[in-house]
Amino acid sequence: MGRKKKKDELHSILADAYVRQKLVEVGGENAIAVLRSFKGKHSDEDFVKKLKIKISDVRSTLNRLHSEGLVVYERKKDSETGWYSYTWQINLEKIKRWAEEIKKEEREEEEGQDQYYCPVCGISSIVSFERAMENGFKCMGCENYLEYLDEEIREKVWQEFKR
Ligand SMILES: [Zn+2]
Protein backbone atom coordinates (compact mmCIF):
# COMPACT_ATOMS: atom_id res chain seq x y z
CA MET A 1 0.00 0.00 0.00
CA GLY A 2 1.32 3.43 -0.92
CA ARG A 3 2.14 5.98 1.71
CA LYS A 4 -0.45 8.43 0.39
CA LYS A 5 -3.25 5.88 0.60
CA LYS A 6 -2.17 4.87 4.10
CA LYS A 7 -2.21 8.50 5.14
CA ASP A 8 -5.73 8.95 3.76
CA GLU A 9 -6.99 5.86 5.54
CA LEU A 10 -5.51 6.96 8.82
CA HIS A 11 -6.95 10.43 8.27
CA SER A 12 -10.46 9.05 7.81
CA ILE A 13 -10.14 6.86 10.92
CA LEU A 14 -8.97 9.85 12.95
CA ALA A 15 -11.83 11.96 11.62
CA ASP A 16 -14.13 10.05 13.94
CA ALA A 17 -14.56 11.94 17.19
CA TYR A 18 -15.34 8.84 19.24
CA VAL A 19 -12.30 6.99 17.90
CA ARG A 20 -10.14 10.00 18.72
CA GLN A 21 -11.49 10.11 22.23
CA LYS A 22 -10.74 6.42 22.75
CA LEU A 23 -7.25 6.87 21.32
CA VAL A 24 -6.57 9.58 23.86
CA GLU A 25 -7.82 7.26 26.61
CA VAL A 26 -5.47 4.58 25.37
CA GLY A 27 -2.42 6.63 24.36
CA GLY A 28 -2.71 9.84 26.36
CA GLU A 29 -3.09 13.44 25.27
CA ASN A 30 -0.37 13.26 22.59
CA ALA A 31 -1.71 10.12 20.93
CA ILE A 32 -3.49 11.85 18.05
CA ALA A 33 -0.63 14.22 17.27
CA VAL A 34 1.85 11.34 17.29
CA LEU A 35 -0.30 9.17 15.01
CA ARG A 36 -0.96 12.08 12.64
CA SER A 37 2.72 12.88 12.27
CA PHE A 38 3.72 9.41 11.11
CA LYS A 39 5.25 9.28 7.64
CA GLY A 40 6.92 5.91 7.37
CA LYS A 41 9.46 5.07 10.05
CA HIS A 42 10.51 7.35 12.88
CA SER A 43 12.81 7.44 15.85
CA ASP A 44 11.68 8.84 19.21
CA GLU A 45 13.71 11.98 18.48
CA ASP A 46 11.83 12.61 15.24
CA PHE A 47 8.64 13.13 17.24
CA VAL A 48 10.39 15.39 19.73
CA LYS A 49 11.55 17.63 16.88
CA LYS A 50 8.30 17.53 15.00
CA LEU A 51 5.84 17.90 17.85
CA LYS A 52 7.98 19.84 20.33
CA ILE A 53 7.12 17.54 23.19
CA LYS A 54 9.43 15.94 25.72
CA ILE A 55 11.11 12.66 24.85
CA SER A 56 9.62 11.05 27.96
CA ASP A 57 6.13 12.03 26.70
CA VAL A 58 6.91 10.71 23.23
CA ARG A 59 8.07 7.40 24.67
CA SER A 60 5.15 7.03 27.00
CA THR A 61 2.71 7.75 24.14
CA LEU A 62 4.42 5.27 21.81
CA ASN A 63 4.60 2.61 24.53
CA ARG A 64 0.93 3.01 25.33
CA LEU A 65 -0.05 2.82 21.67
CA HIS A 66 2.25 -0.16 21.30
CA SER A 67 0.56 -2.03 24.13
CA GLU A 68 -2.62 -1.91 22.02
CA GLY A 69 -0.64 -3.01 18.96
CA LEU A 70 -1.40 0.26 17.14
CA VAL A 71 2.26 1.00 16.49
CA VAL A 72 5.19 -1.37 16.09
CA TYR A 73 8.92 -0.89 16.52
CA GLU A 74 12.22 -2.23 15.32
CA ARG A 75 15.13 -2.31 17.69
CA LYS A 76 18.70 -1.95 16.50
CA LYS A 77 21.90 -2.12 18.49
CA ASP A 78 24.56 0.42 17.69
CA SER A 79 27.74 -1.62 17.35
CA GLU A 80 29.89 1.27 18.59
CA THR A 81 27.96 2.56 21.56
CA GLY A 82 26.13 -0.65 22.36
CA TRP A 83 22.92 1.36 22.74
CA TYR A 84 19.63 0.34 21.29
CA SER A 85 17.73 2.60 18.97
CA TYR A 86 14.08 2.22 18.12
CA THR A 87 12.29 3.05 14.92
CA TRP A 88 8.53 3.19 15.03
CA GLN A 89 5.91 2.49 12.43
CA ILE A 90 2.18 2.71 12.40
CA ASN A 91 0.23 -0.57 12.36
CA LEU A 92 -2.57 0.56 10.09
CA GLU A 93 -4.29 -2.82 9.75
CA LYS A 94 -4.51 -3.11 13.51
CA ILE A 95 -5.72 0.48 13.88
CA LYS A 96 -8.50 -0.24 11.38
CA ARG A 97 -9.66 -3.32 13.24
CA TRP A 98 -9.36 -1.55 16.56
CA ALA A 99 -11.40 1.42 15.31
CA GLU A 100 -14.09 -0.92 13.96
CA GLU A 101 -14.32 -2.63 17.35
CA ILE A 102 -14.58 0.72 19.08
CA LYS A 103 -17.34 1.84 16.74
CA LYS A 104 -19.22 -1.40 17.29
CA GLU A 105 -19.02 -1.00 21.04
CA GLU A 106 -20.19 2.57 20.70
CA ARG A 107 -23.22 1.53 18.63
CA GLU A 108 -24.16 -1.17 21.10
CA GLU A 109 -23.73 1.17 24.00
CA GLU A 110 -25.81 3.88 22.47
CA GLU A 111 -28.61 1.80 21.03
CA GLY A 112 -31.86 3.17 22.27
CA GLN A 113 -30.21 6.31 23.61
CA ASP A 114 -30.88 9.78 22.34
CA GLN A 115 -28.26 10.89 19.88
CA TYR A 116 -27.07 14.14 18.40
CA TYR A 117 -25.17 14.92 15.24
CA CYS A 118 -23.57 17.76 13.32
CA PRO A 119 -25.32 18.48 10.00
CA VAL A 120 -22.00 19.58 8.48
CA CYS A 121 -19.85 16.61 9.53
CA GLY A 122 -22.50 13.93 9.16
CA ILE A 123 -22.06 10.39 10.39
CA SER A 124 -18.67 10.80 12.03
CA SER A 125 -20.15 13.37 14.40
CA ILE A 126 -22.95 11.25 15.91
CA VAL A 127 -22.74 11.28 19.70
CA SER A 128 -24.90 10.23 22.63
CA PHE A 129 -26.87 12.78 24.61
CA GLU A 130 -24.31 12.51 27.40
CA ARG A 131 -21.34 13.20 25.19
CA ALA A 132 -23.16 16.00 23.39
CA MET A 133 -23.82 17.60 26.75
CA GLU A 134 -20.17 17.24 27.82
CA ASN A 135 -19.20 19.28 24.78
CA GLY A 136 -21.86 21.91 25.25
CA PHE A 137 -23.77 20.51 22.27
CA LYS A 138 -20.96 21.52 19.95
CA CYS A 139 -19.47 19.37 17.23
CA MET A 140 -15.98 18.07 18.09
CA GLY A 141 -15.02 18.33 14.42
CA CYS A 142 -16.10 21.82 13.43
CA GLU A 143 -17.64 23.58 16.46
CA ASN A 144 -21.07 23.80 14.88
CA TYR A 145 -24.03 23.17 17.14
CA LEU A 146 -25.31 19.63 17.22
CA GLU A 147 -28.86 18.72 16.32
CA TYR A 148 -31.11 15.99 17.63
CA LEU A 149 -30.85 12.84 15.55
CA ASP A 150 -34.28 11.34 15.04
CA GLU A 151 -34.97 8.12 13.15
CA GLU A 152 -35.65 9.87 9.87
CA ILE A 153 -32.42 11.88 9.92
CA ARG A 154 -30.48 8.84 11.13
CA GLU A 155 -31.56 6.94 8.00
CA LYS A 156 -30.63 9.88 5.79
CA VAL A 157 -27.21 10.30 7.36
CA TRP A 158 -26.44 6.60 6.96
CA GLN A 159 -27.60 6.63 3.34
CA GLU A 160 -25.27 9.53 2.59
CA PHE A 161 -22.47 7.66 4.31
CA LYS A 162 -23.00 4.55 2.17
CA ARG A 163 -23.03 6.43 -1.13
ZN1 LIG B 1 -19.22 19.38 12.61
For 136-151, what is the mean pLDDT?
91
d(CA 161, CA 163) in angstroms, rounded, equals 6
**Architecture category of domain 1-109 in CATH:** Orthogonal Bundle (1.10)
Angle at CA of residue 88, ends 79 and 19, nearest 5° = 165
pLDDT confidence of residue 163:
62
Residue 126 CA, ligand 1 centroid: distance in Å: 10
Q: Is the pLDDT of residue 1 over 60?
A: no
Report the range of poorest mean pLDDT among 5-19, 48-62, 113-127, 147-161. Answer: 147-161
Residue 85 CA, ligand 1 centroid: distance in Å: 41
Q: Is the pLDDT of residue 114 over 70?
A: yes
Residue 147 CA, ligand 1 centroid: distance in Å: 10
Computed over every residue of the chain, the mean pLDDT equals: 90
Are 122 and 92 in contact by the 8 Å Cβ rule? The answer is no
Give the side-chain half-sphere CA count within 13 A for 11: 7
Specify the domain boundaries for CATH 1.10.10.10 within the chain: 1-109
Residue 18 CA, ligand 1 centroid: distance in Å: 13
